[in-house]
Amino acid sequence: MSVVDSRGLPWNEPPGHFGGFSKYLVNEENEGSKYFDFRISRYPIKGLVEQHTHEIAEQIFYFISGTGTVWFGDEKSIVGPGFTMFIPPKINHGVENTGDEDLVFIVATSPPNDVPRN
């Protein structure tokens, strides 16, 4: 077990995330987690992740603050604080901050190796 103070962790811009940044709170590199990664993402106004799929990974997004548009398969929805999004494997999805403040959300991914990061 470990306790992580995320305030000291760096923000990274993953590939395909234009203006969107993530802090990897728990993953294999920093905590030895082999089965999932857990991060907080922050997208400034107009920041986005292009629509994409994951071959085997499932993801859960939990939105903390801000307003955005999400794409899920052929559907499009507006999200904000308290919204949760479950993304099964092979489903096209994307996120864009369409509000007037940072869009902040938690992302859990399992298994973690199906999601590129830098």
pLDDT for 33 equals 86
Give the global pTM: 0.90
11: phi then psi, degrees, rounded to nearest 5: -85, 130
Could you read off the pLDDT of 48-95 as tens digits, one per residue? 999 999 999 999 999 999 999 999 999 999 999 999 999 999 999 999
Q: Domain containing 36 — which CATH number?
A: 2.60.120.10
Is residue 6 a part of any domain in this protein?
A: no
Is residue 78 a part of any domain in this protein?
A: yes
Q: Hey, what long-range contacts does 26-33 have (CB within 8 A, 24 or more apart)?
A: 27/112, 28/112, 30/4, 31/2, 31/4, 33/112
Is residue 7 a part of any domain in this protein?
A: no
Is residue 4 a part of any domain in this protein?
A: no
pLDDT at 5 over 80: yes
Q: What's the domain count of the chain?
A: 1
pLDDT for 101 equals 98
| Domain of 76, in residue numbers | 13-114
